[in-house]
Amino acid sequence: MLPERSLRTAKYEWTIAVAASNENDEIADFSSRGDEVDITGPGVNVESTWIDSGYREASGTSMAAPHVAGTAALVIGRNGGEWNTDQIRDLLVDTAENLGHDSTAQGAGLVRADWALGLEAEPAETGTLTGTVTEAGTEDGIEGADLKSVKSELFLDGDLKDSETTSVSGIEAEGEHNLRNRERAPKKYEVTLTVKDRDGNTVVSEPEKIEL
């Protein structure tokens, strides 16, 4: 395990401390660890301008920080230049992509300019949910049953990635949910459906595997 290292000026509250990740979303060995880390940016083998009007690949948190600074600039431009550091940091942190590492290594996760600006990915295919509350082992509707909600959840490797809940009533439910793939490449997900009635009873469907 790598020891925690001093973040120097990045430890101050008025700064945004940036860690560095590689193309496999792993935190770079050279990236500092600590409770002060706010967010992560790409920082390994990043193509950058260089001396004598050239280009070259370089690695370091000095490569990662411009990705965050650039996203912050886009946010400032979108909001008329009126946001302060705390507001910008809060938005970048809230819209970061969790890479699954400890917060002392990744902070909130990978900076996402598209999410920070509210640019959603194309929605996944829409599925229609229909069903009727029935007696166990039969197809007979239960008289007086009163549904309360239907929730669909999207999981990747056991981690919840997206969900949507619809309030319903009666013994029948019909609706439409959009669950989004927020990854940068197609992944294999599991979808579950949870139905609750107004008496507190809950039924969860068997996971259905899909690829988005």
Tokens of 23: 């193309």
Arithmetic mean of pLDDT, 166-191: 73
Domains of the chain: 8-116 (3.40.50.200), 127-211 (2.60.40)
Average pLDDT along the chain = 82
Query: What is the 3-state secondary structure of the chain?
Result: CCCCCCCHHHHCCCCCCEEEECCCCCECCCCCCCCCCCEEEECCCEEEEECCCEEEEECCHHHHHHHHHHHHHHHHHHCCCCCCHHHHHHHHHHCCECCCCCHHHHCCCECCHHHHCCCCCCCCCCEEEEEECECCCCCCECCCCCEEEEEEEEEECCEEEEEEEEECCCCEEEEEECCCCCCCCCCEEEEEEEEEECCCCEEECCCEEEEC
Q: What is the CA radius of gyration of the chain?
A: 23
Instruction: Supply the pTM of this predicted model.
Output: 0.56
Number of Cβ within a 10 Å radius of residue 8: 11
- pLDDT, tens digit (0-9, with 9 covering 90-100), for 4-53: 554 467 777 788 999 999 999 999 999 999 888 999 999 999 999 999 98
Residue 169 vs residue 17, higher pLDDT? 17
Structure confidence at residue 123 (pLDDT): 47
Amino acid at 94: D
d(CA 31, CA 104): 11
